[in-house]
Amino acid sequence: MTSSDTIHDVVIIGSGPAGLTAAIYTARANLSPLVLEGEPSSTSDQPGGQLMLTTDVENYPGFPEGVMGPELMMNFKQQAARFGADIRTVKASKVDLSERPFKIWVGDPEAPEPTHLSKTVIVSTGAQSLMLGLDRENELIGHGLSTCATCDGFFFRDHDIAVVGGGDSALEEANFLSRFASKVYLVVRRDELRASKIMQDRAHANPKIEILWNTSVTEYVGESKLESVKIRNNLDESISDLAVTGLFIAIGHKPNTGLFEGQLDMKDNGYLLTQPGRTATNIEGVFASGDVQDDYYRQAITAAGSGCAAALEAERWLEANDEGH
């Protein structure tokens, strides 16, 4: 029936810091994890997760000189493989978590038989930043274009930069970035902000922040790195240049939870709901770790930490519930 007919102890879906940390821990616990790492694509929903779209990572502990995002994820992967994790470059296309063993399809979701069966599942499918969808967006990420002020703000000391968005995230990023940048333009598509009053007051009081109302970014300018952007005034449609070397996109995030709709409980904003302080979901034996269940911290180190927690919970769950283990 399945590609291997075996019932896995643990299948991990996703291979960012959460999934691969879960793989390291479950592999070292002799659970022979199968990791479905995803397939390369043009979005952040890909093997290695969002760090594959960054350059220098300077806040991941253990790397005093910093490390490149893709190199960090390659290290995670090698470490998991060293202990026997079976990492496959495929995407889960369907899951059935209604009974154990859990069923996971790869490839044709209409296939009558699942590809894999597993006693436990760790969901680490991550989240993706919403993007503007302009040409060369993926190329320029890490080269002037960023979705994470905490990660990249430091590189823009004394630069003029811009943040796109008018919600709490954008205002928080703009305030944070004003510690480094000489000037922060906030590019807002309408004539009002969506952010909370307190964040608005803080932005208005910050002398380094200038709000460009009714404005949208229409083009990224620069060859190997961002040199400026073209902006459109949405009232009169006029186009002009904005000389910024950094552009932070803060228009929201989307968790990669489509596979689990109707099966795993989610918060109103679509993130997976786990038990307080735990990685356990509403289905026994299914655990969620990393950004797919974290709409608050969204850091590589917190994702790795929750991947570790999910591995320990899966291991303990198997010990308590699986006689054949």
Residues with a known catalytic role: 148, 151-152
Q: Tell me the closest approach of the beta carbon of residue 172 to ligand NDP, in angstroms.
A: 5
- CA triplet 125, 129, 134: central angle to 5 degrees? 130
Q: Name every residue whose Cβ is closer than 8 Å to that of residue 19 and which is 6 or more positions away in sequence.
A: 12, 13, 35, 37, 49, 122, 124, 289, 290, 307
Q: How many residues bind ligand NDP (CB under 6 A)?
A: 15
Determine if 94 is a binding residue for ligand NDP (CB under 6 A): no
8 A C-beta contact, residue 229 and residue 242:
yes
Q: Tell me the closest approach of the beta carbon of residue 268 to ligand NDP, in angstroms.
A: 10
3-state secondary structure of 262: coil
Which CB, 193 or 310, lies closer to ligand NDP?
193
Report the distance separating Cα 250 and Cα 287, nearest Å. 28
Residue 83 structure tokens: 């202990």
Report the distance separating Cα 151 and Cα 55, nearest Å. 10
| String marking each residue 237-266 x if it binds ligand NDP according to CB under 6 A | --------------xx--------------
Kindly indicate which of the ranges 56-64, 110-118, 161-169, 200-208 contains the residues binding ligand NDP, using the contact rule CB under 6 A.
161-169
Which CB, 83 or 213, lies closer to ligand NDP?
213
Residue 305 structure tokens: 């930490």
Determine if 230 is a binding residue for ligand NDP (CB under 6 A): no
State which of residues 56, 86, 168, 210 lies at the interface with ligand NDP (CB under 6 A): 168
**Contacts to ligand NDP from residues 101-140, by CB under 6 A:** 132
State which of residues 19, 165, 246, 285 lies at the interface with ligand NDP (CB under 6 A): 165
State which of residues 160, 172, 313, 315 lies at the interface with ligand NDP (CB under 6 A): 172
User: What are the beta bridge partners of residue 105?
Assistant: 94
Q: Tell me the closest approach of the beta carbon of residue 130 to ligand NDP, in angstroms.
A: 6
Q: Tell me the closest approach of the beta carbon of residue 87 to ligand NDP, in angstroms.
A: 31
In 10 A of CB 266, how many CB atoms? 20
The end-to-end CA distance of the chain, in Å, is 22
8 A C-beta contact, residue 293 and residue 317:
no
Which CB, 29 or 162, lies closer to ligand NDP?
162
Maximum distance among all Cα pairs of the chain, rounded to whole angstroms: 70
Which CB, 117 or 186, lies closer to ligand NDP?
186
Residue 159 gets the label, from left (phi > 0), alpha (psi -120 to 50) or beta, of: beta
Which CB, 62 or 296, lies closer to ligand NDP?
296
Q: What DSSP element (H or E) covers 212?
A: strand 209-212
Q: Tell me the closest approach of the beta carbon of residue 138 to ligand NDP, in angstroms.
A: 16
Determine if 169 is a binding residue for ligand NDP (CB under 6 A): yes
- Residue of closest CB approach to ligand NDP: 167
Q: Name every residue whose Cβ is closer than 8 Å to that of residue 43 and which is 6 or more positions away in sequence.
A: 128, 138
| String marking each residue 21-50 x if it binds ligand NDP according to CB under 6 A | ------------------------------
User: What are the beta bridge partners of residue 240?
Assistant: 231
Q: Name every residue whose Cβ is closer than 8 Å to that of residue 105 and which is 6 or more positions away in sequence.
A: 92, 93, 94, 95, 111, 114, 115
- Residue 233 φ then ψ, to 5°: -80, 115
Q: Tell me the closest approach of the beta carbon of residue 277 to ligand NDP, in angstroms.
A: 20
Determine if 191 is a binding residue for ligand NDP (CB under 6 A): no
Binding residues for ligand NDP (CB under 6 A): 132, 164-170, 172, 189-190, 194, 216, 251-252
